[in-house]
Amino acid sequence: MKRKSTQSVRFSSNPVLHAKLPPWRSRFVLFLLFAGFATLMVRALYLQGLSNEFLQRQGESRYARTLVLPASRGKITDRNGVVIASSVPARAVWAIPEDVKAPPDKLAELASLLGIPLRDLQRKLSNEDKTFVYLKRQLTVETADKVAALGLEGIHQQRETMRYYPEGEMVAHVLGFTNIEDKGQEGIELAYNSQLAGRAGSRRVIKDRLGRVVEDVQAVRSPANGHDLTLSIDTRIQYLLFSQLKAAVEKSKARGAAAVVVDTRTGEILALVNLPTYNPNAREGLNGGQLRNRALTDTFEPGSTIKPFSIALAMDLGRIRPNSTFDTGNGRMTFFGRSISDTHGYGVLTTAGVIEKSSNIGTSLIANLIENREMWNKYSELGFGQVPKLDFPGAVAGRLRPYDRWRPIEKATMAYGYGLSVSLVQMAQAYTVFARNGDMVPLSFLKTDREPTPTQVYTPATAKTMRKMMEAVTGAGGTAVQAQVMGYRIAGKTGTARKIINGAYSTKYVASFIGLAPASNPRLVVAVMMDEPTTGSVYGGAVAGPVFSNVVGGTLRLMGVEPDAPFKSLVVPDVPLMEEVL
């Protein structure tokens, strides 16, 4: 059997290898390769030369950090140098979620120290995509040390400060508070935030992934600390006012209360208290009623406390004298189609008697002698219907309608305290005209050594006469016997006004008393307002008068003011008071 011969085919004889390609194709491939290398070279030149700063910024953003060096917030002190607000060291606790390795018992202990629910802590640590998450800020140093003692991996701390208020709720509405970023949110902290805050500094550093500083890369810009602030508040008087007002609220079961003490010589506010109040060091669960600064933000119809101003205006205009007489009848009178009444039938009263008995009828008869424009101008001079010129957030203007819209009965009611609204601070400032012999000074929360610039509102003779007539209010026949202060002459006025609820007058009241002491040479104006007293009396003399008495007595003794002449009623029909002044 013959084998078939196999023919071998030479590789070089493959016809594919004998195909000839056009020369331009190889040149085109070489050109593409050259263009590619040229593009890479240009890009490299651009990145390393022309765009060097951009790349450096991108690189630094991955490892470099700018640390803010916080400025130390200025202290706030009372007029005697007692610190009532300061910044103290604190810690912020933060974590890198993916690095946290903690057994359940340790995690529960951490949550307890931080004061947050365990489920909230677990939720914050569950997102491992984050490299930084705050667990708790403004933690006390003592608690932060306990957190560090747990030795948990992935849990870190950084230094910060927190605001501390040693006097707590007693001065809360004056000072206000700061937020977690140490910026003022209420009160003095907000009004003078730029002065207290200072200017933060900065420091450029390189950090590793655990947040540790590896190297400083830029010079430090030092922070500029905030300026300290000295208030006009005297914490001794503030405590006295707070304790007396709190006791009165508890006794009368009032819905709220406010009071203010003013130095008549300088216009400095020595004390201001609102109830209910709050603790600025622990603000969780606060409501609007606690935060409201009633003395500045709440308005009310002043009632009889406004009577001295319209009566003094009539005397200033020469329309009446202190011994002018007015027939108030049996305690009820129809006036321009409306009924006006007194608590009792007083018959014929002098001007001084109208003040002593707080007669609505007598005040209406006097107001009828004054033109609308004259009363509106005087009320405006006293600051009613205008925002107080006081560097304090939230102060309101109240309500004083234009005089050309007044009806005759409205002028009468505004003369005895209805139909307009005021704040307690406005009333306290207005009463300085009687304490300062007819001129009024602006109020201030800052301690001042300069003499204030007064505004003349009444003549000195009228102011002195009104002050003498208001002394009778705390006398045996007056409406505020309980406002008397042993050893000092007191001048003042009560107010009991019905509240408007849902557009109608209700059976709820605002009871108030505003007075001057000592009457012979006044150093203080004290205004007290009780909102909706429900137990016992609702009248200003009985509810607010005792607070005034206790506060004034204690304050005058603290100030070293000598007692003046014993009280004596000046409502004597046969003695013209204006002549006594002159």
| CB count in 10 Å sphere of residue 136 | 21
Nearest to 522, CA basis, from 486, 551, 558, 564? 564
Q: Is 152 within 8 Å of 100 (Cβ atoms)?
A: yes
Dihedral (Cα; 8, 11, 15, 17), 10-degree rounding: 180
CA 309 to chain centre: 29
DSSP result, 454-507: -EE-S-HHHHHHHHHHHHGGGSTTSS-GGG-BTTB--EEEEEEEEEEETTEEEE
| CB count in 10 Å sphere of residue 535 | 11
Nearest to 274, CA basis, from 245, 304, 303? 245
Told to judge if 304 belongs to the known catalytic residues of this protein, a careful annotator would answer: yes
Q: Is 473 within 8 Å of 355 (Cβ atoms)?
A: yes
CA distance 386 to 486: 37
CA distance 355 to 366: 11
Point out which residues pair with 92 in neighbouring strands. 158
Q: Of 304, 359, 444, 549, which one is the catalytic site residue?
A: 304
CA distance 237 to 498: 30
Catalytic residues: 304
